Amino acid sequence: MTSPAVHVIGHPLVQHKLTLMRRKDRSTSGFRRLLHEISMLMAYEVTRDMPTQLVEIETPLEKMRSPVIDGKKTVFVVIMRAGSGFLDGMLEVVPGARVGHVGLYRDPKTLGAVEYYFKMPQDMSERDAIVLDPMLATGNSAVAAVDRLKETKPKSIRFVSLVAAPEGIANMQRHHPDVPIYTAAIDRELNDHGYIVPGLGDAGDRLFGTK
Ligand code: URA
């Protein structure tokens, strides 16, 4: 089977902002603002091939047929809690999108994903799902979230992370070879605690100031 695409978003603005976020002295508010800005920029890449349809409109000069996207057909699926930091920027770009939530925590011993919350909009079979989680580390949460999401039979699924580990990408590709991955960086490896190195630390803690 061929591997699904891994899209590394190398745009200089994204790379620059990611560097600022990685710095350990970045404040909570700075980290949050940068994640918001990056998610808007990444939304452009992730939605690049979104279908459009022609609608008839009237300019001040004449009638024309012009393309629009049906944002309501998109559902952003937030993997809590760090995924929520990705959401607002994406919604700014696709304001009509629906939002689903998956709550998973990482068992500190096994690093396996345990589900505690799952809520999706109705009619998922008509929607394109974009799963949001800033850190694709072991990939266990991503795999578990996509497993559950597939039960709702969305039209398509893509996965967006800010920083990915090679281990997480391999795990996703093994379990979900049909799901393309978008990321701003593929870092070196995971450490013994399941953190991405060099990474940026715990994205949830840095986003919410909980450490
Ligand atoms: N989750 C994080 O927030 N950071 C990592 O490095 C790995 C998982």
pLDDT digits (tens, 9 = 90+) for 11-67: 999 999 999 999 999 999 999 999 999 999 999 999 998 888 999 999 999 999 999
74 pLDDT band (50/70/90 cuts)? very high
Residues recognised as catalytic: 106, 110, 202, 205
4 pLDDT band (50/70/90 cuts)? low
Q: Which fold has domain 9-208?
A: Rossmann fold (3.40.50)
CA 26, CA 23: separation in Å to the nearest integer? 6
Which residues form the pocket of ligand 1, taking CB atoms under 6 Å from any ligand atom?
Answer: 82, 135, 137, 194-196, 199, 202-204
**Res 3: pLDDT:** 61
Tell me which of 42-46, 97-101, 106-110 is least confident: 106-110
Mean pLDDT (the chain, rounded): 93
Determine the atom of ligand 1 nearest the C-alpha atom of 204. 3
Pocket test for ligand 1, best of 32, 183, 202, 205 (most atoms within 8 A of CB): 202
DSSP state of 156: E
Q: 62 alpha carbon to ligand 1 midpoint, in Å?
A: 53
> CA separation (Å) from 50 to 19, 68, 146, 154, 157?
29, 10, 20, 15, 12
Q: Does residue 2 surpass a pLDDT of 60? A: no
Report the predicted TM-score, pTM, of the whole model to 2 decimal places: 0.92
